[in-house]
C-alpha cells in the first residue's frame, strides 16, 4: 500500500509522454486533414495536401516557373515588414531542409575562461566577413523545451566541434540535457 504513490508516478512517466505524443500527432493530422476536408474520407485531405505541395515543388523547379518565382521572391523581400517575415521564415526552413542545411554542425562553446563552463549549440556560419569579423563563428543555441533560441558570435578558439549527429545534439539541447546523447569525441569542421 505504501508503494502505491510510486506506482502511480511510474505509470505517469510511461503514459504521459506516449499520450502527449499521440495527442500532438492526431491534432496535427486532423488540422492538416481539415485544410482540404473531404466529407466522410479521413486522411484524403492530408493526401491531397501532400500531392499539392509535391506538385508545387515540381513546378518550382521547372525552368518555366523559376524566373516568375525569382521575381516574386524579390518583390516579397523588398516589401516592408513582409520582407523581414518572409525571408526569416524562408531561411529558417532552408536551415532544416534542402541543400543549405545550417543546423548540421554541433559545437561545444567554452563560455568562461576561468571556470570550465560550456554551452552546446550549432555553428551556422564559419566566417562573419560581412561584419568584418572573420575570426568569429555564428553559433545558434536552441532553448530547452521551447521553439526558440539565441545567436551568439563566438571566437573560433572557444569552439570545439562535436562528433555527434545534429538530431542527437538537438534532442539533447531541447530536452534540457535529460536525453542521452550517443556519439563520441570532439571533431573538426
Q: Give the C-alpha separation, 36 to 104, whole Å.
A: 34
Q: Do 85 and 146 have their domain in common?
A: no
Q: What is the domain range of residue 52?
A: 4-96
Backbone φ/ψ region at 187: left (φ over 0), alpha (ψ -120 to 50), beta: beta
Structural domain includes residue 77: yes
Same domain, 22 and 91: yes
Please indicate, yes or no, whether residues 66 and 140 belong to a single structural domain of this protein: no
**Same domain (yes/no): 139, 110:** yes
pLDDT at 15 over 80: yes
Q: Which whole-number Å values give the CA distances from 167 to 46, 142, 164, 188, in the listed order?
A: 26, 12, 8, 18
Residue 38 lies in a domain: yes
> 57, 76, 96: which is the final residue of a domain?
96
One domain for residues 91 and 115:
no
Domain termination site, one of 96, 129, 152: 96
Same domain for 88 and 8, yes or no, is yes
**Final residue belonging to a domain, choices 64, 96, 128:** 96
Q: Are residues 11 and 81 in the same domain?
A: yes
Confidence (pLDDT) at 22: 92
**97-147 tens-digit pLDDT:** 766 677 788 899 988 777 778 888 888 888 777 777 788 888 888 887 777
The 8 Å CB, 24+ separation contacts for 72-75 are: none
Same-domain check for residues 61 and 14: yes
Provide the number of structural domains found in the chain.
Answer: 2
Cβ atoms of 162 and 107 within 8 Å: the answer is: yes
Based on the fold, state whether residues 118 and 156 are members of the same structural domain.
yes
- Reported as a single tens digit per residue, the pLDDT across 49-85 is 889 989 988 888 888 888 888 898 899 888 888 888 8
Q: What whole-number distance in Å separates Cα of residue 88 and Cα of residue 108? A: 25
pLDDT for res 183: 61
Is 101 inside any structural domain?
no
Q: How confident is the model at residue 23 (pLDDT cuts 50, 70, 90)?
A: very high
Amino acid at each position: 500500500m505504501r508503494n502505491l504513490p510510486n506506482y502511480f508516478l511510474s505509470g505517469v512517466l510511461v503514459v504521459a509522454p506516449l499520450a502527449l505524443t499521440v495527442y500532438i500527432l492526431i491534432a496535427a493530422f486532423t488540422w492538416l486533414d481539415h485544410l482540404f476536408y473531404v466529407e466522410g474520407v479521413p486522411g484524403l485531405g492530408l493526401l491531397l495536401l501532400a500531392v499539392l505541395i509535391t506538385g508545387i515543388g515540381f513546378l518550382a523547379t521547372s525552368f518555366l516557373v523559376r524566373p516568375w518565382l525569382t521575381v516574386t521572391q524579390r518583390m516579397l523581400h523588398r516589401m516592408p515588414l513582409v520582407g523581414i517575415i518572409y525571408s526569416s521564415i524562408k531561411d529558417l526552413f532552408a536551415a532544416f531542409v534542402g541543400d543549405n542545411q545550417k543546423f548540421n554542425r554541433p559545437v561545444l562553446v567554452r563560455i568562461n575562461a576561468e571556470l570550465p563552463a560550456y554551452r552546446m549549440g550549432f555553428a551556422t556560419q564559419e566566417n562573419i566577413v560581412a561584419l568584418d569579423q572573420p575570426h568569429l563563428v555564428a553559433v545558434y543555441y536552441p532553448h530547452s523545451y521551447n521553439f526558440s533560441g539565441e545567436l551568439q558570435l563566438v571566437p573560433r578558439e572557444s569552439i570545439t566541434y562535436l562528433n555527434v549527429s545534429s538530431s542527437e545534439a538537438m534532442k539533447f539541447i531541447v530536452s534540457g540535457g535529460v536525453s542521452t546523447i550517443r556519439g563520441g569525441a570532439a571533431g573538426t569542421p
